[in-house]
Every structure is written in C-alpha cells, then in structure tokens.
Structure 1
Amino acid sequence: MKLFKYRFFACKVFVFIVFLSFLHVSAAFTTVLDETAPGLTMARQATHSAKLWITSDHSKHEILQQEFTSGPEVTKACLYCHSEAASQFHKTIHWTWLDPNVDKKEMIGKGGYSVNNFCINLISNEPRCTSCHAGYGWKDQTFDFTDQSKVDCLVCHEQTGTYKKFPTGAGNPVTEPTVFKENGKEYLPPEWNKVAQSVGRPTRKNCGTCHFSGGGGDGVKHGDMDSSLMKPNKALDVHMGEDGQNFDCVRCHTTVLHNIAGRTYSTPAATSRKSLIEDDLTSKITCESCHSSSPHKSHSKMNDHTDKVACQSCHIPEYARVNPTKMWWDWSTAGRKKDGKPYEEKGEHGKAEYSSKKGSFVWEKNVKPEYFWYNGSIYSLTARDTIDPSKIVQVNRPLGSPDDVNSRISPFKVHKGKQPYDKENKTLLIPHLFGKKESGAYWADFDWKKSLASGMEKAALPFSGEFDFVETTYVFPTTHMVAPRENALSCNECHTNNNSRLANLGGFYMPGRDKSNLVNTGGWTLAALSFIGVILHGFIRIFTKSKPKKEK
C-alpha cells in the first residue's frame, strides 16, 4: 500500500505542475501592461519633459543682420561662429548619401550604385532627387562635396516653416515665384534674413519635410512615416502624439557631431543594446536604451521575448494607419498615352494608380508588417551586381538569423514592383528619368532604350542594349507609429498554426505555431499514464479498503 501512496502522491505533484504551467501560459496571453513597469519608468526619466538650454538668440547676432541673397551666403555666416559644423557634416550620411563605414569605392548608398524599386537610382537624375539633399547645387557628378558653403544649414534648423527647396532645383530654393506643374504649388524665394535668424533645434517639420515624402510623395516609401506624423495623436504614435509624450524626431535620433542615429545600410544604427542606466551616453535609437531589456514588470514571460523579438514587432500591429503607402510599382506599364499625351489616373485613396511617366501603382492602408530576423544591417544590391531574373529579385534584404545574438524578429514594409534589367549582363539598370527632351530622359522622351543607355553611360556601367522587366522586392524597417499598449499584439497572433504572423520564418521552434511529434507524443503519453495511474490507484483503494475494526 505504501507503494500506491507514493505513486498517488507523485501523480498529484505532476497534475499540480501541469496546472501551474497552464496558468503561466495563460498569463502570457494577455497584453495589458503594468503602469509601473520598470521600462516605462526609465523611458520617462530619459525623455520626458526635457529642458533645452537655449543660450543664444540668433536674431540678435550682428552677422545675421546683413542682407543675404543665397543659401551659401547664409552658410558662410553660420560658419563664422559654428566653425566646425560643415566639416563635421561632410562626414555624415546626410551629406554623402553613402554608407560612411564602407570603402567609398564600393559606392554603397543612394548617392552611389545602390538601387531601389522606386525611382531606382540617383545617377543622371540628380536635380530632381537632390531636392531633398542638405546641400546646394548637386545637379550632376561635378558637385564639389568639399565645399563647406554648399552645406544647407537652414533645411534642418530654420523654424519659420517658410523655407522650401524647389522639387527640381538640385537642392536650391527658387529665386522668383514659381509654380511646380506636378503638384500645382507655388514656391516663393526665401526671406533669407528671417529664416537665418530663426534657426534652432530641428523639429519634426524639419525632418519630415524630406523623410515623410521620400520617393516623390507623401508616404510613398516607408509606410510608418508620412505627413500624419506632423501632428499625430498618441493613438497613432505614443511617443510623438501631441496628446502624449509629444517627442520630436531628435528625442530618439540622438546626434553626435552632426551624425544622426539611424539606419545606415550595411552599418547597424546601433551596435549596442545598452540602456541609459548602464551607460548614460548611449544612443536612444533602440527601444532598450530607454525601456531596458526587461520592460514588463507583471508579465515576466514577455521579458523572455526581448532577446529574440524586437519591441516593434508587438507594438506596431499595422503601419500606414492614417495615410496610404505605396506597396507596388510596375515600371513595365509606363509609356501609355491618351490622344498622344501622357496621363494619370487616380484610384482608391485618391492616389494615382497609373501614370504614363511611372507605370502602375497599388496603395494600401492599415498594412500588417512582414517579419524577418534582423541584426541591424541590410544588404543592398548595386547596379554592378549579377541577378537571377528567373526569380523575384531582392533589391535589399535584412541580415540576421535565429543563431545571431544580435538578431531580433523585426517588422518590415516590403515594397514590390517591376523594374528594368539587362538581359545579357543580368544586372539591374539605371534609367535616366529626369531631363529635357532629346536628352534621353524617359519622362521627356518616353523611350526606354535611350533612357537606359543614357543612365548607364552616366554611371559608367555597361549596357548590352537588350532589356526586360523583372519583379523585385525592397524592405524598410518599421519603427514608427508605435501603438498604445492596449493595441499591442496578443500572443496568439504569432503562437498559432492558423495564420500566424510569423508563418514565413523557419529554422526555430515556436510553441503554438510548430508541432514536434516527439514532444507531442511524449507529453500525451505522460498525461495518459498519469491519468491511468490515478484511476488504477482509485480502484485499488476501493477494493483493498480495510473494514473498520469492531469495538470490543
């Protein structure tokens, strides 16, 4: 009987452990976070109610009282006091548009041979593309990157909101009132003295003027950045919401010597995941820097995810939640005309779904991200790299793996499209898009062969003359539009074998999504044996129960 008692006790212990495990798993499937979470406290200490020590009123500086007639004149005045600013800025990605930590000969970046599946490449299209360059006059490959007076201090620092570069002006504002045909907007010459005397710390308007409109329009490229972030509420972004923390971009994109923290192609935006408590000089560019690697106080199981899952994966359930973003761009359909003239047709969301100049588009709102292992580095194809046109070409891709300690499962926008490639050389081609008639510019002549020959010639790259279009993908990390905690993903969005958000990720075992016959068989066998043991023990107790002794 003692043997049976020990077995019964062991069964009780086993059932109790199974019950506790069930409670633990159930607790993990809640998304409500404790208001006293240590990460939240640290974030508030690091970023809330920052006091800016403004020690200078630029409107009182004598050197800014002179009459200015151009941007370079203003820059020279700035450098009179800020003598090192331009030399610092010349070393940054905002100036070179190249990965600063890769040999310049490799030309990795949008200022070099890297390509995308939007307007494809800068070369031969400089006057249009460089309207968002923080410099003056990058109209072709003769631009002098060593000239300090060419740095545009105002585009990042002026605070009047009136300073605008012309969309095709190679980074220059207009010198007289000019209407831009594409959007019908009138651009006015800057009031140089007024904007020069207004300078201050960059605001989201300074940053958003270019970054919200990358690719030629509002929300075209990133999906998680568009004009809705100029004045968002916290339902759209808990950090930037005007009714919440009301952060400007530079609260997280911290800056050292004009180097602004952020993604830089193959170079990670951050090489350390330290928190500000560990190192008060660390960049705030990662979530961990403010929220630490243990942000959830009441739900320790969630903290077990932070070494494998990026915070953004759970806290940005969808992007493009206010304005649509472009998800498909097919260059192969460009060139159609009506009555011999180029035309444009608008579709859903009031956005162009066809343009003679650019082809076909698809726009979407409230888009679920796609997820990849990401260590902070992105591999980018260049116009010199060989491709396999029989497959969908990844123009860029995130680097990382389940075995990489620096990798996290991270959310991305994946933009798809079709773009030209060289059928003989098996390389992606650079088209000459912007220019005058008879220059080979596609938007003027609508001749693909001439456009591609001109673009590749200016890039000093070979072109066989034979071309076609290949389907491609291009990724953008999704890091903005962080939703309120109550809108974070529930665990069963991923831990399920039915439409799991992580269905495309393999190479690792994830409970709820994946099945292991060995584990399942072993678990059910133990459960069955335990149940049988309990039943047998009950029957044995019933049939072997000793009768009570009669009292004498």
Structure 2
Amino acid sequence: MVFKSNGKTYYAPDWAKVAQSVGRPERKNCGSCHFFGGGADAVKHGDLDSSLVKPDKNLDVHMGTKESGGQDFACTRCHTTRNHHVAGRIYEKPAALERKSLLQDDLGDKIMCESCHGSQPHMSGGMFSKLNDHTDKVACQSCHIPEFARAQSTKMWWDWSKAGQLMDGKAKIKGPDGKPVFLKKKGEFVWEKDVVPEYYWFDGTMDHVTTEDAIDPTEEVWLNRPNGDRNDPNSRIMPFKVHRAMSPYDKVNKTMVIPHLFPFDKKDKTAYWKEFDWEKAIEVGMKYAGQTYSGEFGFVETTYAFPTTHMVAPRENALKCAQCHNPEGRLKDLTGFYMPGRDKYQLVDSAGWFGAGAALLAVIIHGIMRFVSGLRRKED
C-alpha cells in the first residue's frame, strides 16, 4: 500500500519482517514505561529508573552486567509470561498467599524472592542459620535493598498547591542534579537520592482511597496503605518508598478530587494546564468522572506507598544486624513486638542476665572442681 500526503510518499510496513523481528523484550523495552512512570525518569518508583538499562552489579545483582559480576537478567527472567499474562502481580494476586518455591516450575508466577531462592536462602551453619530464622517475618528486600534511588534521585515530595504561579519570577526551576524542583504546571518538588525505605507489615495487598471515600483532612491521608499484621503468617516486614504530596480535595464533602488537567481540544479552557484555574478544572474533572463536587476545594497532605523490590544490593552490602537491632534502628517505629537489641523489658532482661550469670557461675565452679581434682591426683 502506498499513499501520498504533504508531498511525501508513504509505504506500508513490511509486516512479514515486523512479525519475524518479534522477540523477548529487553530491559530498555520494559523501562520505556516503567522507568519513566509519573512523567519523567525516576519520578514514580524509587527502585526503577533508566540506570537499570545497563546497571553495575552494585546497583542490582540480578540485572547487573556480567562484566561487573552481575547476572545480567532481563525483566522477563523473573516476570515470566504465559498467554500475555505477566507474572509479578503484587496487588491482583497477593504474593504472600502462595509462597511456594518455583525452582522446579519455571513457568509459574514468580512474584517473591522465594520463587528462586526458597524459604531457606542462606547457607546453613553459623550466623547464616540465624538469618534463615528471619524469613517468616522479614521480607528479603528489607535487608537486601538497604537504600533505593542509589544511582539517581527520585521524587519524594510534590506540592500541587504551588502550581499555577511563578517562583522567583520563573515558570521552571532546576535543582543541582538538573531535575526540576518547580514547574508552573505541577508545583514544587523535592528529590532525594540514597533513600532509606520506610518499613511496614505487608501481606501483599493495599487499601486504596477513592473519590467516594471520606477522608480526615486534619491528618495525613494515605491514598494507599499496606495491609499486614505481625500475627498474620502471610505478612512480612517490607520496605517502601513513601511519596508525599499536597493534593486538592473537596473541603465540604471531605473527599479527594479529580482535576481536569489536559485540554480536550484547542477550544477547551477548563483544563488546569490551559487556564490554571483549579475551580474550573476540578468541577469539570469530577463531572466527567461522575462524582459530586461541592465547589469548595483545599489542599491536604497525602501519602502513597510503593513496595521496593528492585535494586538488590550484593550480599556484602546487605543490612547488618545492628542497623535494625538497636533502639534507633530502622525498625524503631514498628511496635507491638519484642525485638532483641531494640527493646528492653525488665523481666526478659533480668532473665537474660540471670541466665548469663548462672552460666558464668557454672563455668567457674566447674573450673574450680577441675583444679581441685587435679591437685588431688598429684597428691596421690
């Protein structure tokens, strides 16, 4: 098929050649969407950005190039596909509900670390055996992803309330790393690098706030919240990137709102990115979505949690015991259970010291008895 337009001749694609070129996607293919989610590189996911196209082993042991000592995995190595169904669904099918090993079943849903590493991933013997005791309560990612955004910064704060105006007379301001810290279209941002995750009990499911759910604007509003409990056998302590923002909401109905951002056409003057009028944009957006809007809006602090599961560091860079097992460690905010080295319970501590003292006393008595016995043998 051939057709002409604007003085140019266009030929139909060679569909046979196109079909024959189909193959497994490489990291760059998957990353064209997943690395740039949220509008730019490293905006959305702190553990997914363009640095993973060809990473060093120190950034990710699985995807790291072989030249750097990595495994050089493509995304499809873990996210296996059958009939266009891509494994790795952390929300639709909770990972924790089926923690089976897939070592013998390479076509199964590879969702969690246990799929390849099993439930006893560390070598037996010595301190490694103790590490295996953690796998029923601690997700592998919690220790093996010590920080995210290790190659470039990720967006951690987004203030929509400052959109629609200029900052220092400018519509765009870039930060030290070249990423925008202010855009008239979107507001003010904060980017961070080498970020320590936040940790929550996670059973593989999330609660989500919709425009029909009432919120409390006097508190931080979790747009999605990890579900989990320390008494739930399917829950593990999991690391998260928690993105915070100032977002518009309905002050009367106390619900989140959906603003109309993109113009429908050239004549559309209700889109926020056309006239920068929140009132019009929210009214049209909510009407288009079939939701009620009182006509009064404000801004409330919101949070959104992203499970962190990429950028797995080499074993030598995994967390050390004391980074969690101390009063100011990473898990200081996870309460409701006793954690050695972090918590102090008088009864437990007293029992421990008593046991240690009794053991020491027994050793001393045993030594004295051996010494006396040796003297007697000499006399005989």
Match of 2:25 among 202, 225, 241: 202
Larger Rg: 1
Structure 2 residue 250 is matched with structure 1 residue 422: yes
Cα-Cα RMSD: 3.1
Name the residue aligned to 2:310.
Answer: 480
Q: CA deviation at 1:524?
A: 2.2
Name the residue aligned to 1:388.
Answer: 216
| SS of structure 1 residue aligned to 2:141 | helix
Looking at secondary structure, tell me which structure has more strand per residue: 2
Name the residue aligned to 1:265.
Answer: 91
Q: 1:531 to 1:295 in 2, by over 3 A?
A: closer
Q: 1:492 to 1:437 in 2, by over 3 A?
A: farther
Residue identity matched to 2:161:
S
The 8 Å contact of residues 349 and 363 in structure 1, kept in 2 or not, is answered as: no
Structure 2 residue 296 is matched with structure 1 residue 466: yes
1:267-317 superposed Cα distances (whole Å, 9 cap, x missing partner): 425641111246454322211111111111141111111111111111111
For 2:232 and 2:183, the matched residues in 1 are separated by: 43
For 2:291 and 2:368, the matched residues in 1 are separated by: 86
TM-score (structure 2 length as normaliser): 0.87
The 8 Å contact of residues 96 and 234 in structure 2, kept in 1 or not, is answered as: no
Q: CA deviation at 1:347?
A: 1.2
Name the residue aligned to 1:172.
Answer: none
Name the residue aligned to 2:100.
Answer: 274
For 1:269 and 1:529, the matched residues in 2 are separated by: 45
Alignment of 1:150-299 (within 5 A): 192-193=13-14, 196-197=18-19, 198-243=21-66, 244-263=70-89, 265=91, 267-269=93-95, 271-277=97-103, 279=105, 281-298=107-124, 299=128
1:405-440 superposed Cα distances (whole Å, 9 cap, x missing partner): 111111110001110010111100101111146431
Structure 2 residue 335 is matched with structure 1 residue 506: yes
1:374-405 superposed Cα distances (whole Å, 9 cap, x missing partner): 11111111111110111000000111111111
Residue identity matched to 2:300:
V
Q: 1:67 to 1:223 in 2, by over 3 A?
A: farther
Q: 1:300 to 1:538 in 2, by over 3 A?
A: closer
For 1:281 and 1:266, the matched residues in 2 are separated by: 18
Residue identity matched to 1:283:
D
Greater alpha carbon shift after TM alignment, 215-224 vs 200-209 = 200-209
Greater alpha carbon shift after TM alignment, 323-332 vs 239-248 = 239-248
For 1:476 and 1:464, the matched residues in 2 are separated by: 31
| SS of structure 2 residue aligned to 1:206 | helix
Match of 1:320 among 121, 135, 149: 149
Looking at secondary structure, tell me which structure has more helix per residue: 1
Match of 1:329 among 158, 161, 165: 158
For 2:248 and 2:86, the matched residues in 1 are separated by: 34
TM-score (structure 1 length as normaliser): 0.61
| SS of structure 1 residue aligned to 2:156 | strand
For 2:262 and 2:170, the matched residues in 1 are separated by: 15
The 8 Å contact of residues 309 and 408 in structure 1, kept in 2 or not, is answered as: yes
Q: 1:365 to 1:547 in 2, by over 3 A?
A: closer
1:9-58 superposed Cα distances (whole Å, 9 cap, x missing partner): xxxxxxxxxxxxxxxxxxxxxxxxxxxxxxxxxxxxxxxxxxxxxxxxxx
For 1:68 and 1:504, the matched residues in 2 are separated by: 66
For structure 2, list consecutive stretches of 5 or more residues without a partner in the other structure. none
| SS of structure 1 residue aligned to 2:177 | helix
For 2:130 and 2:96, the matched residues in 1 are separated by: 26
Name the residue aligned to 1:107.
Answer: none
For 1:190 and 1:512, the matched residues in 2 are separated by: 71
Name the residue aligned to 1:144.
Answer: none
Q: CA deviation at 1:261?
A: 1.5
How many residues are treated as equivalent by the alignment?
366
Match of 1:457 among 263, 287, 307: 287
Match of 1:352 among 174, 180, 193: 180
For 1:485 and 1:539, the matched residues in 2 are separated by: 45
Name the residue aligned to 1:400.
Answer: 228
| SS of structure 1 residue aligned to 2:242 | strand
For structure 1, list consecutive stretches of 5 or more residues without a partner in the other structure. 1-65, 70-174, 177-188
Alignment of 1:40-119 (within 5 A): none
Name the residue aligned to 1:373.
Answer: 201
| SS of structure 2 residue aligned to 1:239 | coil
The 8 Å contact of residues 342 and 357 in structure 1, kept in 2 or not, is answered as: no
Aligned sequence identity (%): 59
